Amino acid sequence: MVPELAPVPNSTILTIRLGGRVVGTIEAAHAHLIQGAVLHSPMTVDDLELMDDHAHTSGRAKALERAAAYQPPFSPAEMVQRWRERAARHRTTAQNLCGVLRWLRNHPEAPAVRFEGCDWSEHAARKELAHQRHKHSRCCGQLGLWLRQRAVPVLALPTAANDAAQAAGKVA
């Protein structure tokens, strides 16, 4: 007999039926594995349960593997340096755009100016300048967060006398 899968109303599980009798349940998220197996070859209920166990176990194993392989991608000193460079890059771009706008103001007959490979009209330069100022201020905010995080002192451990008082049940 080939097992059938039937949905349970208002639930995320499916029942496994064998000959019209309910013999077990399975999460709907893993039903595609079982349906594919049932269509390709007849399987026993034990095989289906084993397959369900493998589906759950492999998911847990992958999650554990990802958690074990995770390395924090930053140190506070590296992040401070990174955000300083980003803020400086946006500030420099904004200063260059101010120069473009100054040149356009001094030469009103020119509709645009070519600077570093780009043609800048007054409208485009003002729009990009606003964007670069916004990005610079955001980078400065992130830099401030990382500078504060780097400057936070490590919590000092309580003294030995305090430990003895706490061990005796007295609150120091």
Q: What is the pLDDT of residues 63-102, one digit of tens each?
A: 777 777 656 667 888 889 999 999 999 999 999 999 999 9
- C-alpha atoms less than 13 angstroms from C-alpha of 105 in its C-beta half-sphere: 8
Which of helix, strand or coil describes residue 124?
helix
pLDDT of residue 109: 92
Instruction: Check residues 141 and 51 and name the one with the higher pLDDT.
Output: 141
Look over the chain and give the mean of its residue pLDDT values, rounded to a whole number.
Answer: 78
**pLDDT of 172 above 50:** no
If you write DSSP's letter for every residue of 43-112 in order, what string do you get? Answer: --HHHHHHHHHHHHHHHHHHHHHHHHH---S--HHHHHHHHHHHHHHHHHHHHHHHHHHHHHHH-TT-S-
* pTM (2 d.p.): 0.47
User: What residue type is 10 in one-letter code?
Assistant: N
What are 96's two structure tokens?
């260059």
According to DSSP, residue 30 is labeled G
User: What residue type is 167 in one-letter code?
Assistant: A
